Amino acid sequence: MCGIVGYVGPRVATPLLVEGLKRLEYRGYDSAGVAIMNGAGVETVKEAGKISRLEAMLAANPVHGTTGIAHTRWATHGPPNQVNAHPHVSDDGTIAVVHNGIIENATVLKKMLEGRGYTFRSDTDTEVLAHLIEECFDGNLEDAVIEALRQVEGTYGIAVVSSVDAHKIVAARKGSPLLVGLGDDEYFVASDVSAILAHTRKVVYLDDGEMAVVDRNGYRIVDLNAMEVQKKVSRIDWDLGQIERGGFAHFMLKEIFEQPQTLENTMRGRLLDDDGTAKLGGLNLTDDELLAFDNIVITACGTSWHSALIGEHMIEELTRVPVEVEYASEFRYRNPIVNERTLCIVISQSGETADTLAAMREAKRRGARTLGIVNVVGSTIAREADGGIYIHAGPEIGVASTKAFTSQVIALLLFTLKLGRLRDLSILTGREIIEAMHRLPGQIQQILDRSAEIEALAEEFKRASNFLYLGRGYNFPVALEGALKLKEISYIHAEGYPAAEMKHGPIALIDEMMPVVFIAPHDSVFDKLASNIQEVKARKGRVIAITSRDEEALAGKVDYEFRIPETIDLLMPVLASVPLQLLAYYIAVKRGSNVDQPRNLAKSVTVE
């Protein structure tokens, strides 16, 4: 959610920090601010609204210094205004703090600090940290931060500066991502590598319970007992061009059009055509261990949960292993049946989703083996899972996930192929699936080449107040995903249902004003879906059909039709999702929505 950037080095810090904040805009925020060591003390400038407003304030009243921290806030405690914006400053003005996460015992700490004479000016939980660190400070900033954090319950990624212990940043992590960037005689702190990629590709990721002490001479990583920790330096393998729009109007559109390439990247080097199987070196499981699991649990949130539902269909059909899909946000709050004979697959684009990470840790605590399907190399889930599959989709900046979703589905199919061939899946069926997978990128390109047809459809429906999305089998999760995309970025109310469930309630909504999107390719349940279309048409609903061939059963019953190429049932969800992504995008644009940064949403949900 929120974003953190820090800088220590020979250069003027303010423009570097503002540049970093701009790289983090995609994460979602409602205010921004900087704190700079100006030679006389800590000078803080912050403002509600977009970073451009902060920029204007800094242009009018420049702040000079070579050490500083900056933040973009997404409101949790208190409304989005200037007072609640970060950084927050201690009572004596010597310490500034930026913070991602939630301090769960903030009320207790605040009462204690008020009793000791501290004055609180904001509604935030973060201000507690600033005063608490001041209370613990005796001249050494890292010691004060350690002592303060021992009293804190909750989650945090923090960066702290002090004018008394100057030219130093102390950063600590528990449950909220944080890294140190290593430049040439300069150092960075950030919550996301995109903030600093223009200046370095070398980073050190902090784990929970670790703290970085960064100054002009270098960096140290210690635990909260002040014991030094040896950490690996990671190198980022994607470049700045991948987080630029590249001529597209929005990141979301760019990422939709990248899907032929991103799917190639997900499959590259992993398909064994002759053997009809997949090679997945990162699972860290022997074939015998894979065969020993009694059941599989897949846990995820949002779009990733929809890919998990498709994975459930795939795995159960091709491997005959029981699969249960769980919302990660609910998983650890009940008593799930998970043990050492359970394989738990967790799916997260960022690899930092708080609920999914917590679900994975709970599964591990109960003895399950865990596999992560993530996009971000070096993310927390990637580091903590027993094994996993990187989807290699490249950075996804648009808040509404598109290319990560389709790559997640392919990653799940790769896993299914691997497990299926170890069990009862025939080599011929495996080869047929792989042949269809090879055709997939070209088929998606065919859909993208006809995006103007979807744009015209969006013009027709841009003023709709409600949408219904219906699908069956593999395409029911596509209906859920299509509805989610529309509501996320256009703010139109939309619902996805299994088509057969329509008559168990939603049919009451259908009239001549209701657009109903049917995902109706020619698959094993097409005939049943055709009957559902007739039911909607009989009630004057406006039918939009995503189909794959000329079907007599649909003659006269469809108002708008978009054809996708034919493929096997397993891969229909990937093809069918692309026109729905485009439909949501074009409707949102025509309604004037902020497509890449929809209201109230954040790209990476790192708080519960």
- Positions marked catalytic: 2, 603
Sign of CA dihedral 173, 178, 180, 186: negative
Helix extents (H) in 249-326: 251-257, 259-267, 287-291, 302-319
Cα gap 546→580, rounded to integer Å: 9
Element (H, E) at 577: helix 572-590
How many Cβ atoms are within 10 Å of 555's Cβ, its own excluded?
8
Residue 318 vs residues 8, 126, 311, 425: alpha-carbon distances, Å: 54, 50, 11, 6
How far from chain centre, in Å, is Cα 310?
19
HEC states along 444-488?
Answer: HHHHHCCHHHHHHHHHHHCCCCEEEEEECHHHHHHHHHHHHHHHH
Looking at residue 87, the DSSP 8-state letter turns out to be: P
Q: Which of 378, 380, 374 has its CA nearest to residue 361?
A: 380
Percentages helix, strand, coil for the chain, rounded to the nearest 5?
40, 25, 35
Q: Which of 200, 225, 197 has its CA nearest to residue 211?
A: 225
Cis ω for the linkage preceding 477 (within 30 of 0): no
Indicate the burial class of 307 (C-beta count within 10 angstroms; 0-12, 13-18, 19 or more): buried
Structure tokens at 439: 């055709």
Looking at residue 201, the DSSP 8-state letter turns out to be: S
Element (H, E) at 342: strand 342-348
Q: Cα-atom radius of gyration of the chain, to the nearest Å?
A: 25
Work out the angle between the directed axes of helices 476-490 and 302-319 (0-180°, nearest 10): 170
Place of tokens 């060591």: 37
